[in-house]
Amino acid sequence: MNRSLKNETYTGATNRKSLYDLQVPLNWNNKLIIFIHGYMGYKDWGCWNLVSDFFTNENYGFLKYNVSHNGGTIENSIDFSDLDAFSENNYSKEIEDFEAILDLIKKDFESMPEIYIIGHSRGGGIALLQSQNDVVARIVSWAGIASIPTRFPSGKELEAWGKNGYYIRENGRTKQQMPHSYSQYEDFMANKNRLDIEDYCKNSNKPTLVIHGNEDASVKIKEGEQIASWVKSQLIPIAGAQHTFGASQPWEKETLPEELEVVCKLTLQFFNLDFKQKNDSYAEKMSMMAELVKLARADEEVRTEEIQFLSAIAIDLGITDADLQTLVNRHIEFVVPRDDANRILQFQRLVLLLFVDFKISEKEVIALKTVGMKLGLSPDAIDNVLKEMDQNGGKALDIEELKGIFGASLN
């Protein structure tokens, strides 16, 4: 399947029409990423188009859309020509918009693809509120909000908002005076349970990744820390990054800013992880983590990205912080997984760790081959995996691709 749709129309909340883009590459992996933009945002802001290109180049489908009441129109989707619509927007409408996009996908595809969500800022909050949606497989929060009520005025400002019926906030880039109807607050009060991000996170069973710039002045990294603790996941802080990870509007370069490229690569590694095989014994899990720790140490430098990846894998395997610490401090006997699928899965984790910091040393390669042979995998096949990943810029191979490469060489 190879599809490229730009500025197509969908019908969102209150039957208001808005726009979406859909890119499906020729070698599509049947996984579709839905990107949700943030407050005072839109689908073509900054370098979101380059983000779409990044993931479609990795064989993922990518759909991004304007929320129906973001202030744009069908005729003018850039910036905010309809301030009345912007004023009447609310979080419930944005949830309706997402559901409308899912309905569109169900009608437009022969079979429902595996749905992954990336939400930025306010869009991160909307994404997290989909954690009970059976259609959604994975969620990634990019600088996502942890609380909706803290977005509203409080105290005397809240009273004045109710009395006047609206308040004004200036758009820092366009200098437009952006009105906010008091109906936004009324809708929140009427739908508090459905809009409780903390509650949805704490009851989530979706694999979730949380990425946040440690210099984000718009949504403080504290909110990322809260989200990560609620979903029992790992917060990945991006050093020196602000709210949009180095991107700005307009973006005239043909490449992603360095910080956003790192965010995309970390998100890709998370999407490529296989979460299906979870029947390992605890001894096997500890053995797997021990080998991952050894590999991270192979070049005598454990980088931040490697630590974050190790923590994320430990959480997924159900290994406690205390047990993870024991792996760092003492020898754990190597236990070979009992079946081929888990042996290949463990090798995939090792390879992802090798590529997660985008810096590969000769010692790390030797260590990987050593563990691969312990797993009963062919050295020649291991070389073929590394060669193929290197040629594809560190792109991970899924389990089926790895099975195809190892094939009959499994012992």
Mean pLDDT lowest for which of 35-44, 76-85, 261-270?
Answer: 261-270
Is residue 277 included in any domain, yes or no? no
List pLDDT tens digits, range 343-379: 787 787 777 766 665 566 676 677 777 778 777 788 7
Distance CA 219, CA 13 (A): 26
Number of domains the chain contains? 2
At a CB cut-off of 8 Å and minimum separation 6, what does 194 contact? 92, 95, 129
List pLDDT tens digits, range 169-195: 999 899 999 999 999 999 999 999 999
Is residue 400 included in any domain, yes or no? yes
Type of residue at 221: I
Specify whether the CB–CB gap between 337 and 343 falls below 8 A: yes
For tokens 């749709």, the residue is 5
Is residue 257 included in any domain, yes or no? yes
Same domain, 262 and 390: no
CATH value at residue 356: 1.10.3680
List pLDDT tens digits, range 294-349: 766 665 555 666 666 677 677 666 777 677 777 766 655 666 666 777 778 778 77
For tokens 């809009």, the residue is 195
Same domain, 335 and 386: yes
Same domain, 105 and 242: yes
Residue 365 pLDDT:
75
**Domain extent for 295:** 282-409
Distance CA 195, CA 252 (A): 36
Distance CA 401, CA 406 (A): 9
DSSP label at residue 409:
G
Same domain, 179 and 317: no
Same domain, 207 and 346: no
Query: Model confidence at 403, in pLDDT bands (50, 70, 90)?
Result: confident
3-state DSSP of 290-340: HHHHHHHHCCCCCCHHHHHHHHHHHHHHCCCHHHHHHHHHCCCCCCCCCCH
Query: Model confidence at 166, in pLDDT bands (50, 70, 90)?
Result: very high
In 3D, which of 378, 375, 370 has the Cα closest to residue 408? 378
Structure token pair of residue 299: 């070049």
Same domain, 239 and 309: no
Of 229, 247, 272, the residue that ends a domain is 272
CATH value at residue 91: 3.40.50.1820
Of 222, 254, 272, the residue that ends a domain is 272
In 3D, which of 347, 331, 353, 235 has the Cα closest to residue 286? 331
Same domain, 87 and 220: yes
* 0.85 surpassed by pTM: no
Same domain, 301 and 240: no
Could you tell me the CA-to-CA distances from 94 to 124, 175, 187, 305 in Å, in that order? 12, 24, 12, 33
For tokens 């909706």, the residue is 148
Same domain, 385 and 405: yes
Distance CA 373, CA 387 (A): 17
Specify whether the CB–CB gap between 194 and 96 falls below 8 A: no
Same domain, 258 and 289: no
On the question of pLDDT at 5 being above 70, the answer is yes
In 3D, which of 342, 353, 405, 350 has the Cα closest to residue 379? 405
On the question of pLDDT at 205 being above 80, the answer is yes
Same domain, 404 and 311: yes
Is residue 94 included in any domain, yes or no? yes
Same domain, 268 and 291: no
Structure token pair of residue 79: 């910036």
Of 272, 306, 335, the residue that ends a domain is 272
The reply to whether omega before 149 is within 30° of 0 (cis) is no
Specify whether the CB–CB gap between 30 and 113 falls below 8 A: yes
